[in-house]
Chains A and B, each alone.
Chain A
Amino acid sequence: MNAGTLSTPEEPKAGKAHTRFGDRAFSGLATAAGLTILVVLAGVAIFLLSEAWPAITAPVADLPNGENLVKYIWPLVFGTLISSAIAIVIAVPMAVAVALFTSHLAPKAISMSVSYLVDLLAAIPSIIYGIWGIAVLGPASVPVTQWLADNLGFIPLFEGPASTTGRTMLVAGMVLALMILPIVSAVAREVFQQTPKGLQESALALGATRWEMIRMVVLPFGRSAVVAGSMLGLGRALGETMAVTIILSVSGIVTFNLISSENPSTIAANIALQFPESSGLDVNVLIATGLVLFAITLAVNMVARAIISRREASGER
């Protein structure tokens, strides 16, 4: 535009990079925003630790029920794990089916709207899943759990006596399953859709039926994605609070019995229930349990990320 501006030796700048103010300001701003992430996470760790510290160092006698902190947390960890385990066991096969349906079976015209529907499922607030669980799914489960207790009572899981309200670990786990199903199926769907067309077509050209093609090509291709998606769903289930809080009537026991009215609580639900009424050291104890929850979900998420990145590293195949 302006020939004179090309040579500007009046202000020789040191070094090769000739950066202008706008560039420096903007990249500085963006970098600062990136660093904010690190600051926030460091803040999360520091503030949680500092608030949990009194509970970790307090003498056992001062803790709730005069119990050792580990003893206090253990039933909660157990409840957290078992509710999430139920959720995963139910959700993963269903999520794979839903993903396969949207990616390979549904007619093109409806597969789009079906995907929307599944995504919408993920956006429904957990509190609503919770009250639906206690109002609809719980009562509906009573005859089934009654039957399970009567006929399969020899299996520890269904030992009974069956709850008459449906406020059981099984129902809580089923609601959690519904909540994580969209997450798992979204990850799986994404990868199923990326299965190379060439592989699929050559399988079909060899005379495979559609199911044989899915089994030979699509499922192996998407296997690690399903695992990774499941881990992400697991991370979500572990930290999910309200559905469990509202459904379970808790008592601090450790049991594999899924259908009785006596259930262990989960870490998150315990915090939500106890926190508003707590003060003093009890608050610190709850924050300490929150840290444990954070550590567990962090570990699960890291495993998921590792699986995903290993898959990416091994190429798109």
Chain B
Amino acid sequence: MNLTNTKKEIEMADVEAGSSDAILEPPKPSAEARQVHAQAKRIDAEKLNIYYGDFLAVRDVTVSIQPNKVTALIGSSGCGKSTFLRSLNRMHELIDGAHVEGKVLLDGTDIYAPSMDPVLVRQQIGMVFQQPNPFPTMSIYENTAAGLRLNRKKMKKVEMDTIVEKSLRGAHLWEEVKDRLNKPASGLSGGQQQRLCIARATAIEPEVLLMDEPCSALDPIATLAIEDLINELKKRFTIVIVTHNMQQAARASDYTGFFNIEKSGDPGVLIEIDDTEKIFSNPSLKETEDYVSGRFG
């Protein structure tokens, strides 16, 4: 079963979105990797229940996440949107006792299939975290190349340099750091660190980029810079972003999903997902309307 077999489905699903086949980007450095880069991959969650031990945190999520689009997940604190996000690249199971039921399909392949190696899943589905977390022992260059280096990819220096430059440019960071690539990453500002983390995540060329409140630790200017970046990154990646910031969801995303929770202790449920415009102007459900029209989580 090769993942490219499912490509037809994507195209069908993506008709309305206006496909982004003609992506402008430099040729890929590594020859065997995705020679024909048509588009990033889609994610389908099917009847996904997410547990912490016996506690059901998120219930019965079935959703399609469109390729090369930005999907924002909103909802009040503790509603399970971050938990759901972390289950999309099997980060969730790193917590003791955490597990899921149901399926998550990456272009039709179930990433929770028994034969699936979570490490390889995460190479395909990258993640950016709430707090910028560059590796403190590494320089800016080493941080950007970390995904390749840590996996002991054998690579010529020139190739590595190319990838690092491309990733940093892609993260709008190159101009700011090109003269101090060998300085520790801890010397960067919070916003720069977060963009470095995005560069690090994109350097291994994943299909999907998950972002867990990537701007909540940043000031408004750095936040805008990241939102611009997200807008550009969707040309190359499928993006799922969890955010507390309603304007951010409205500004930066194509689709918005709303997680709700009946009362404390109940599982979170994805009650509505639609075009961002519709969610913020004319949502189908009253709960969604209440939430987006003023009550902040």
Q: Are A1 and B119 in contact (CB under 8 A)?
A: no
Contact (A13, B106) CB under 8 Å given A2-B33, A6-B3: no
Binds B, one of A15-23, A154-162, A207-215, A253-261: A15-23
Give the nearest-CB partner of A16 in chain B. B114
Q: Is the CB of A1 within 8 A of B33?
A: yes
Residues of A within 8 A of B113 (CB): 9
Residues of A within 8 A of B1 (CB): 7, 9
Distance of A7 Cα from B2 Cα, bound (Å)? 7
Q: Is the interface of A mostly helix, strand, loop or mixed?
A: loop
Complex Cα distance, B118 from A13, in Å, reads 13
Do the beta carbons of B32 and A2 come within 8 Å of each other? Answer: yes
Chain A nearest CB, measured from B28 CB (Å): 10
Closest-by-CB residue of A relative to B116 is: A18
How many residues on chain A are close to B (CB under 8 Å)?
16
User: Contact: A8 with B114, CB < 8 Å?
Assistant: no
Docked Cα-Cα span, A6 to B153, in Å, equals 16
Name B1-56 residues within 8 Å CB distance of A.
1-4, 30, 32-34
Question: Of residues 1 to 56 in A, which have CB atoms within 8 Å of B's CB atoms?
Answer: 1-9, 11-13, 15-16, 18, 20
Main secondary structure of the interface of B (DSSP, over half): loop
Q: Is the CB of B123 closer than 8 A to any CB of chain A?
A: yes
Taking a contact as CB atoms closer than 8 A, the residue among A1, A7, A18 that contacts B123 in the complex is A1
Task: Please report the C-alpha to C-alpha distance between residue A6 and residue B106 in the assembled complex, in whole angstroms.
Answer: 10
Please state if A4 and B114 are interface contacts (CB–CB under 8 Å).
no
Q: Does B109 touch A at the CB level, under 8 Å?
A: yes
Minimum distance in angstroms from B122 CB to a CB of chain A: 10
B155: min CB distance to chain A, Å: 11
Binary CB contact string for chain B from 232 to 257 against chain A (1 if under 8 A, 0 otherwise): 00000000000000000000000000
Count of CB-CB pairs between chains A and B under 8 Å: 55
Interface centre among B32, B148, B151 (most CB of A within 10 A): B32
User: Are B120 and A6 within 8 A (Cβ)?
Assistant: yes
Complex interface: chain B residues within 8 A of A12 (CB): 114-115
| Residues of the A chain whose Cβ atoms lie less than 8 Å from the Cβ of B142 | none
CA distance A1 to B31 in the complex (A): 11
A49 CB to nearest chain B CB (Å): 39
From known contacts A3-B33, A3-B34, A3-B124, infer whether A8 and B3 are also in contact, taking CB-CB under 8 Å. Answer: no
Q: Does B176 contact A (CB under 8 A)?
A: no
Most buried by B among A7, A8, A9, A18: A7
Cβ–Cβ contact B124 & A8, under 8 A: no
Contacts of B117 in A (CB 8 A): 8, 18, 20
- The minimal Cβ–Cβ distance linking A26 to chain B, given in whole angstroms, is 14
Say whether A18 contacts B114, CB under 8 Å. Answer: yes
- Bound complex: CA A20 to CA B151 (Å): 13
Contact B109 A6 (CB under 8 A): yes
Give A34 to B106 CA distance when docked, in angstroms: 39
Which residues from chain A contact B106 at a C-beta distance below 8 Å? 6
Contact of A9 among B115, B153, B207 (CB under 8 A): B115
- Whether the pair B121, A6 counts as a contact (CB closer than 8 A) is yes
Q: Is A11 within 8 A of B115, CB to CB? A: yes
Chain B minimum-CB-distance residue to A14:
B114
**Interface flag for B165 (CB, 8 Å):** no
Chain B residues with Cβ under 8 A from A1's Cβ?
30, 33, 123, 148, 151, 153, 204-205
Residue-wise, chain B 87-117 has the 8 Å CB interface mask toward A (1 for contact) of 0000000000000000000100100011111
Nearest-neighbour CB distance to chain B for A144, whole angstroms, equals 55
Of A7, A16, A18, A20, which one neighbours B3 at CB under 8 angstroms?
A7
Bound Cα distance A18, B207 (Å)? 22
* A6 contacts across to B, CB distance below 8 A: 3, 106, 109, 116, 120-121, 123-124
**A-chain residues with CB within 8 Å of residue B118 when the two chains form the complex:** 18
Q: Hey, which chain A residues are within 8 Å of B109, CB to CB?
A: 6-7
Measured CB to CB, the closest approach of chain A to B35, in angstroms, equals: 10
Residues from chain A with a CB closer than 8 A to the CB of B120 are 5-6, 8
Residues of A within 8 A of B123 (CB): 1-2, 5-6
| Bound Cα distance from A20 to B118, whole angstroms | 11
Question: Are A13 and B119 closer than 8 Å at their CB atoms?
Answer: no
Across-interface contacts of A9 in B (CB, < 8 A)? 1, 113, 115
A83 to B153, CA, bound (A): 63
The residues of B that contact A16 with a CB separation of less than 8 Å are 114
In whole angstroms, how far apart are the Cα atoms of A13 and B148 in the complex?
26
Give, as a whole number of angstroms, the nearest-CB distance from B242 to chain A: 24
Given contacts A1-B33, A6-B106, A7-B1, is CB(A18)–CB(B121) below 8 Å?
A: no
7 interchain residue pairs of minimum CB distance: A12-B115, A18-B117, A7-B109, A1-B204, A9-B115, A1-B123, A6-B120
New A-B contacts (12) at CB < 8 Å, excluding given A2-B123, A3-B34, A18-B114: A1-B30, A1-B148, A1-B205, A2-B33, A5-B123, A6-B121, A7-B2, A8-B115, A8-B120, A9-B115, A13-B114, A15-B114
Complex A-B: 5 CB contacts under 8 Å: A3-B33, A4-B2, A6-B120, A18-B117, A20-B117
